[in-house]
Amino acid sequence: MEVRVVTGDITQIDADAIVVNLFEGVEQLGGASAAVDKALGGAISSLMGKGEFKGKFGEVGIVHTLGKLPARMIAVAGLGKQRDFNLDKIRGVAGGFCRSLRKLNCHRIATILHGAGVGGVEPEASGEAIAEGAVLGLYNFSRYKKPDYEDIAEMLIVGREQSEIPVVERGVRKGRIMAEATCLARDMVNEPANYMTPSRMADIAKEIADKHSLELNVFDLEDMEAMGMGALLGVARGSKEAPKLITLSYKGDERSEKAVGFLGKGITFDSGGISIKPSEAMGDMKDDMAGGAAGIAALSAIVQLNPKLNVTAVVPATENLPSGTALKPGDILKAMNGKTIEVISTDAEGRLILADALSYAVKQGLSPLVDLATLTGACRVALGNGYSGAFTNNQELLNEVIKAADKSGEKLWQMPMPEEYKQQNKSEIADVKNTGNKYGGAITAALFLSEFVDNTPWVHIDIAGTSLSSKESGYMVKGATGVGVRTLVELALSLANRERIM
């Protein structure tokens, strides 16, 4: 979909549909909504009076113009309660009205800058949120099934002043970049595991590197053996698919040798290995590389936004399958940093591959580190599907991550990392074991990862509950969410503006 910014009278725009808005509880229309209502002879006000348009968030009311305006229909988008209004509401509104109008066979739509009036939102921020929400809300994974609709081809964002156009266009550009990177991650996660293999993840990273002149390294099995990555290779033993360690680097500050590390779990299919999972919903385990997809996709956006910062994504990628060569419960592995690991469950494999990835990142001097992983069902039990869990050894860094998540609309909740819980990970025959008991599983998993970061500032984000969505809502669609991409990008932009990077 093309997104253009224009100025003019919204009532005179020739389009299939024009979009205005309404706050919940408002009895009298203002601004562009009032102008459209007047041109329609009070049709919107009449429907408000009858309780058909209430302005509730997510509500999209349709009024046909019957030739009174150049547009054939008006969409009245509910903004919800004014006290709850924020940028993420604009994203949600844009995603919702775009899907509604697509169902009504609209190919060219026009919208006002939502929130730029009484909502108190700056035009640039409104343009960014509208573009981001629209692209995300219209997303559809259609590689293997042709959709039964034609997509919206063009959206006009109509401003009031000519001087606003460059500002809004700047916001629209960023919104598109953020959304398209998120959609890339969604595509990767939605791909079936017979296509999205570790090698294919590496190919996508190469495509991004070639397009944007990024530095790419793909380490194969022999390389990992030479580096002593026994934990990652232990997980990979059960699969015929070759494991890959992918690093993708952006150099935005030529004067500095320092680089931030974004790490992502890349299990392209997780059967549980010998500790095999129940068959119910095992097909969803193609999403176990969502963290790795987020890291790769985030770099594709960061390079376009060009912050003065160096960033390297590190993605350990493999399958976790049972076979005659597979890792077994009771086996002992040796990670890259020299620590030995007793394997209690082969289904706790994500932390094993991240142990080597974190060790590698520390050895390379990457700092600070942020990893994303669909790591534990325990985190999903604790926080549901709406929040990712965040763990840290550095509160200052986590505060920055939380601010970035808030700005992007991705919900994070800080989880504790009590020292006494480390007892659950103690092994009688190795330095550490890969699971604790059944209580506090998300915490003990994070504490396991902390064994491999030394004193490097580090945040672990458990996205097990947020990587998939079971329903459409706002700019979310069914399937992969692309969670983490926008948080990582916003974090990079924020860290680039700091005098001191941790």
Encoded tokens for 461: 């984000």
SS3 263: strand
The single-letter code of the amino acid at 472 is E
SS3 per-residue string spanning 437-493: CCCCHHHHHHHHHHCCCCCCCEEEEECCCCCEECCCECCECCEECCCCHHHHHHHHH
Q: Distances in Å between the alpha carbon of 99 and those of 24, 52, 58, 143, 192?
A: 21, 20, 11, 19, 25
| Separation of CA 90 from chain center | 17
Which run of H or E residues covers position 369?
strand 369-373
**Catalytic residue flag (residue 478):** no
**Beta strands 154-159 and 266-270: pairing type?**
unpaired
- Which of 102, 237, 351, 407 is catalytic? The answer is 351
- Cα–Cα dist 252/496, whole Å: 9
- Cα–Cα dist 361/315, whole Å: 10
- Cα–Cα dist 390/461, whole Å: 5
Encoded tokens for 129: 């949120």
Radius of gyration of the chain (CA): 24
Encoded tokens for 17: 């549909």
CB contact set of 420 (below 8 Å; sequence gap of 6+): none
**Catalytic residue flag (residue 277):** yes
SS3 251: strand
- Which of 108, 173, 277, 339 is catalytic? The answer is 277
Residues involved in catalysis? 277, 351
